[in-house]
Structure 1
């Protein structure tokens, strides 16, 4: 019902506008106008010399103190080592059974080499000896 009313209103408006035009007149076709820019004087500006970019380098530590992670769960211990810049990490089952540490959060570090407080070079391998929690 509402569509019919809107349609009827649109038709009535169109007829009203058509009735307003004088008889025998037609709208003039649209004209196309092309504008060509006129050449102007070339203005040359010399940009100001930008200051050379400054390079900020973060110095890599030449020596790193090994953090103490004995007693921490294995995952947290790995995160702490990496936060100190030690990324060469080895993990070993401290019980001697040769198990792989698949779920790091179920293991606790019982020993580490080199020991906590030792000063090492970046790239030094840190071995974490862990056992399953509750063993």
Structure 2
């Protein structure tokens, strides 16, 4: 905060002298030298205990939040983008896709790929990431055309 005030003071002095008379001044304004000291945190270690550690009592059943599931829509023979949109409309926003030829190609432009198989089958409840869509490029064998 002091640095900001110092810079503002320097700017104000510079602005005031720039708008003044045309005579040059030989005196220089003194700039306050500010130093910031940051305290170094120190930690103390507790003395070792001679008592035996006590076993923690087992907690009751874990309270994991279950993700909502929705029925998997039938997306076979749809372009990949439309299939993903339909799955998202059902309520699941993360689905996966893979190259059905086994070549490992990435699906960069989703609309250029056609879904030829899906896991799980239509109607099976799915959550985030459960839907796996096997795809081929448009015009390749098996593209439902």
TM-score by length of 2: 0.48
Which residue is equivalent to 1:67? 73
For 1:107 and 1:124, the matched residues in 2 are separated by: 19
Instruction: Report the CA distance between 1:124 and its aligned residue.
Output: 4.8
User: What SS class does the counterpart of residue 84 from structure 2 fall into?
Assistant: helix
- The reply on whether 1:102 has 2:102 as its aligned counterpart is no
Instruction: Report the CA distance between 1:62 and its aligned residue.
Output: 4.0
Which residue is equivalent to 1:91? 97
Instruction: Report the CA distance between 1:92 and its aligned residue.
Output: 0.1
TM-score by length of 1: 0.51
Q: Could you tell me which of 105, 114, 132 is aligned with 1:127?
A: 132
Q: RCO higher in 1 or 2 (8 Å CA, sep ≥ 6)?
A: 1
Which residue is equivalent to 1:77? 83
Where do 5+ consecutive residues of structure 2 fail to align? Answer: 1-66, 141-145
- The number of equivalent residue pairs is 74
For 2:72 and 2:87, the matched residues in 1 are separated by: 7
Q: CA RMSD in A?
A: 1.5
For 2:117 and 2:84, the matched residues in 1 are separated by: 13
For 1:84 and 1:77, the matched residues in 2 are separated by: 11
